[in-house]
Structure formats: C-alpha cells, structure tokens
A and B are shown apart, each in its own frame.
Chain A
Amino acid sequence: MGRDTRRTRLVIAALLVVAFTLITLDYRTGHAATGVRGAVHSALGGVENGVTAVVRPIGRTVSSLAHPNRYHDRADRLTQDNAQLRRQLADDKQITRLAGELASLRLLADRGQYSIIPAKVIAIGDVTGTDWTVTVNAGRDDGVTVDKTVLNADGLVGTVASVTAHTAVIRLACDPNSRIGARLERTQLLGAVAGGQGPGSLVFTLYDASFRVQKGDRLVTFGSLDYVAGVPIGEVTKVTDVGGLSRTAEVRPYVSVGSLDLVGVVVGRPPADPGDRLLAPRPVAAQPPPAVTPAPSGSAQPSGTPGAAAPGAAQGGAG
C-alpha cells in the first residue's frame, strides 16, 4: 500500500497538528469552545439520560451478580453505622447534655437550611477514565448553578463543576483538583480536603500544627459562601504528619464513588421554604457529628471568613 501509506501519513500528521493545537489553545486559554461544549454536553446528556433509564435495571442486576453481597453488605454497613452513631451519641452524654439544646437546635437548623435538588447520576467519568467527575440529570433549568455542594445520603459527594440546561458535571471530592474546606468534628479548626489519591481516600490538611489529628476523627465541610457547612466528609484513617506548619492525614470518605446513584445538589442555605424541600429524597444523612464547640458565632452560619477557626484548639485536645 505504497502511496496510501504516504497519504495516510499526511493525514495523521495533519490530525496530530490539529490535536496539539487544540490542546495548547485549550490549556492556555482555560476553556475554549465553551459553546460547542455546552451543545455537545446537552446532546449527549439527553442520550445518556435515556440510555441510563433503560439500562439501569440491567446494570444493577449485572453488578449485583459481579458483587453478590454488595447490597447486603451495604445494608449491614448502614445498620452498623447507625448503631455506631447512636452509641456514640449516647456515649458522649456529657457533651450531649452540655450542648444538648444547642446541638439539637443546630441540627435542626442545619437540616432545615439545606434545600436540595435531587438528581440522578447518568454518567460516570469520561472516556479517558482519568476524570473524577459524574454527570447528573439536573441542570440550570432545575436551578443548579456552578460551585454548589453535592451530597448523598452518606455525605459529601463533590461540587458542581459545570452546568448545561439539563445536566450538570460534578467534580468529586476525590478529584485531584478538588479542594474543599473542612473542619474536624467538635472543633472549629479549619483545614482542607483534597483528592488525588484515588477514589477511596482523601488528604486532609489541617492549618494548625498544634492540634493533634487522630485516627478516627471525623470531618465535615466548613462552609463558605457557596458551600454549605456541616456535610459529613469522612473519617481519618491515617495521620501522615509531616511536622511542618500543618498536619496532614488520610481520610476515608463516607461516600463510595462506585455506588453513586441518587445525589442532592444543595442550592440554598437560606431557608426559602425549608419545609417542602426536605421531603425530597432523604435530605442529608447529616448527623454532622454535632459540632459541639460552643461556637459563639451565633446562628448556624459559620460565616465565610475562615479566620474564626481558632477557639476550639485548646478545648478540642480532649478528642
């Protein structure tokens, strides 16, 4: 195939040049061709939505074949978690008593203030398999906007990275570019949770070297203008301290990426009408381990300024 080889080479050379140009352009300018992207996204999103609707039961069956005990395990785990949480609540009696009213008030407030748009995961990742994102079937028309917090019954899922009219792409908490403000249970110490370690693990950095992070400590989101506070993130599994100006630890997220299905996009804290919204699918399994620090910051609003992080340091040493 003599002459064809030459022609083929020409073609592939041209294609490679185009590809490199695109990569360079897009990499340099941030995001080129957003319009086209949006169009492709919504077109494919529609197809994916249909495909998912048809295929979901089949996929479920197949995957339950591949992991026979998955749902049993999950049920077991959930009941275990439930029991554990109950026990914990009971164990922490003095704390519970101390802050009893405050905690329940705050719990209530936390619950009431999330308004959630339920959404179904319609695509996981992308073709390269290197993106830690999922696509859901709620979009701008449903009220989803960029940067909102996304959670499911287990806890924090991620944040909204981009939206089209009827779909939204969610950057999972384990994405290497993801960085989410977090605080330790029972303290007001600010830190950040970053991804990049694969789906089963996050890296928590605490911006206060004087506080000892311990295995088993739990994390919730810190909250800011866009992100709501108090969403459970995960549990510290290993302290990988570096002894510098901050502490780092490995965190096992509560949410398992493989089993994501129904998620909720938190679209508003301010209680527009908290009553109806809460009836939506199990809003937040938020037992944000009742943040007991007698946070004098007034309402449940942990005001966007991370400067208010200090007070819990000394007292939190007990935990």
Chain B
Amino acid sequence: MLDMFDSAETIRVRTFAAAIGLLVLALVAQVSVVARLDLPGGRLDLVLTLLAAIALIEGPLVGSISGFVVGLLADLASSHVLGQSALVLCLIGYAVGLVMNEAQRSVAVPLAVIGGASVLGTLAYVAITSILGEAALTGGEAFTRAIVTGVYAALVTPFVYPALLLGSRRLAGNRRRSAR
C-alpha cells in the first residue's frame, strides 16, 4: 500500500509548493497563452488538466488543497464571485485523488481520468455560475464545450502526466515510489 504521508515532512512541503507553483504558472499561461491560441471548438483547460494529473499522482490531500489555493487565487484574479473556482478545483482535486490507486493499472486510466476531470470541471464551472445567476452559456453549448475541453486534456495528457510523474519521483527522492 502507499504510505505517502509517512514520508518526511519536508518532502510534503516541497510537494505542495511545487504543485501550487506549477498551477499558478498554469493559471497565467491559461489566460495569456492558451486563450490566445483560439483553439477550434473550445479550449484547453490547463489548470484543470494539471490539477487532475497532480491529484492522480499525489493523492486527494495534495489535490484538494492545491486545487483550493489555486482556485482562490484565480477567483481573486478575476471578476466573478469569490470562491467558485476554489470550490470546483478543490472537489476535482479530491475526486481525482481518490482514484490514484487505479492509475497504475493501465495507460488508459490517466487519460480517461484527466479527460473526465476536465469535462466535469468545466461543467461544474458552468453549473456554479448559473446557480449564482451569471450564466454565460446555455446547456448544450456548455456540454459541447466540456467535451471539447476533455478531448484537449486527453490529448496533452501523454506529455504532461509522465513529466509530472518523473518530477514527483524526483521530489520524493525515490523513497516513495521505489516500490513500483
């Protein structure tokens, strides 16, 4: 079984710092770089993709906390209601973290999970904005958009996930992952 929380405290602090730092970078890249690409059909959600990958590797605790922190930052940096993306990202991080043990079974699992997380996350964003009465999209649009987001996420997963896995092993100094 994984005993990820038994590793030294410093490793955990470093993991959190790295995860949050990475996600903040993604936050900036999302609005300044990805949004500019004007991808056909929708957009790639860099933050959701990275968060799902991190949560899949590091588990629900890291996933939910870093999701929350970055979500809060994103809320502060935007003009919508405070806390809504914090909520969504926190839940996504937690939910994805729960299936971390399945990730080793097959290559398809990370693909499906990260893609699915992007779909769910996008839908959750739309749901929460419409609950708060600021609906920007109709149901059908939101759905296609979510699917497209998921597809893009699945497309970049083969590049992002192994890189993050490698980074995570480096951080943990082989201790945690050597069992695999």
Q: How far is the CB of A3 from chain B (nearest CB, A)?
A: 8
A26 touches B82 (CB 8 A): yes
Residues facing B in A213-272 (CB within 8 A) are 258-259
A40 interface hit (Cβ, 8 Å)? yes
**Contact bitstring A33-49, B, C-beta under 8 A = 1, else 0:** 10011001100100110
Partner among A16, A22, A51, A127 whose Cβ is within 8 Å of the Cβ of B47: A127
Partner of B79, one of A48, A63, A169, A259: A169
Q: Closest CB-CB distance, B146 to chain A, in whole Å?
A: 10
A9-45 interface code vs B (CB 8 A; 1 in, 0 out): 0011001101111110111000011001100110010
Is the pair B135, A55 in contact by a Cβ cutoff of 8 Å?
Answer: no
Set A12, A44, A66, A133: member contacting B38, Cβ < 8 A? A66
CB distance from A152 to the nearest CB of B (A): 16
Are B76 and A175 neighbours in the complex by a CB distance under 8 Å? no
Complexed CA–CA distance, A63 and B37 (Å): 5
Asked if residues B82 and A7 are in contact (CB atoms below 8 Å), the reply is no
| Contacts known (A40-B73, A127-B78, A128-B129); A59 close to B90, Cβ less than 8 A | no
Could you give, for residues 9-39 of chain B, a 1 whenever the CB lies within 8 Å of some chain A CB and a 0 otherwise? Answer: 0000000000000000001111111011111
Contact of A259 (CB < 8 Å), options: B27, B38, B80, B81 = B38
Give the CA-CA distance A5 to B105 in the complex, in Å. 21
Chain A contacts for B47, CB-based, 8 A: 127
Across the interface, do A12 and B60 meet the contact criterion of CB distance under 8 Å? Answer: yes
**A100 within 8 Å of B (CB atoms):** no
Of A71-79, A106-114, A117-125, A287-295, the stretch lying at the interface with chain B is A117-125
Given A7-B61, A16-B87, A129-B45, are A27 and B81 also a contact pair (CB < 8 Å)? Answer: yes
CA distance A44 to B73 in the complex (A): 10
Pairwise interchain contact B83-A196, C-beta atoms closer than 8 A: no
Q: Which residues of A, 45-61, contact B by the 8 Å Cβ criterion?
A: 47-48, 51-52, 55-56, 59
Tell me how many residues of A have a C-beta within 8 Å of chain B. 60
Q: Is the CB of B136 within 8 A of A131?
A: yes
Inter-subunit contact A25/B82 (CB<8 Å): yes
Chain A residues with CB under 8 Å of B40's CB are 66-67
A314 at the interface (CB under 8 A from B): no
Cα of A19 to Cα of B124 in the assembled complex, Å: 14
Assess whether A127 is in contact with B83, with CB atoms less than 8 Å apart.
no
Which of A12, A20, A129 has the most CB atoms of chain B within a 10 A radius of its CB? Answer: A129
Q: Which of B80, B135, B136 has the most CB of A within 10 A?
A: B136
> When each residue 60-87 of chain B gets 1 if its CB lies under 8 Å from chain A and 0 otherwise, what string results?
1100110010011111111111111111
The number of A-B residue pairs with CB atoms under 8 Å apart is 173
Tell me whether A145 is interfacial, beta carbon within 8 Å: no
Bound Cα distance A233, B27 (Å): 32
| B36 x A56 contact (CB < 8 A) | yes
Cβ contact of B33, chosen from A21, A23, A59, cutoff 8 A: A59
CA distance A135 to B84 in the complex (A): 20
Are the C-beta atoms of A51 and B28 separated by less than 8 Å? yes
For the complex, give the distance between the alpha carbons of A264 and B141 in Å.
30
- Decide if B122 is an interface residue (CB 8 Å cutoff): yes
Taking CB atoms, residues of chain A closer than 8 Å to B3 are: 1
Question: Quick check: B37 and A32 within 8 Å, CB to CB?
Answer: no
Given contacts A129-B122, A135-B31, contact A62 B37 (CB under 8 A): yes
Q: Once the chains bind, are A26 and B81 in contact (CB under 8 Å)?
A: yes
Q: B79: which A residues are within 8 A, CB to CB?
A: 126, 131, 133, 161-162, 169, 171
B116-137 with Cβ < 8 A to chain A: 122, 125-126, 129, 132, 134-137
The 9 closest A-B pairs by CB, nearest first: A22-B83, A126-B78, A26-B82, A123-B31, A124-B35, A19-B87, A40-B76, A23-B83, A128-B125
User: Could you jot down 19 A-B contacts, CB within 8 Å?
Assistant: A1-B2, A7-B5, A7-B61, A12-B90, A15-B90, A16-B87, A20-B87, A22-B83, A23-B82, A26-B82, A27-B132, A126-B74, A127-B85, A128-B84, A128-B88, A131-B136, A169-B79, A176-B135, A198-B141
User: Which B residues form the contact surface with A (CB < 8 A)?
Assistant: 1-5, 27-33, 35-40, 43, 45, 47, 59-61, 64-65, 68, 71-88, 90-91, 94, 97, 122, 125-126, 129, 132, 134-138, 141, 145, 149
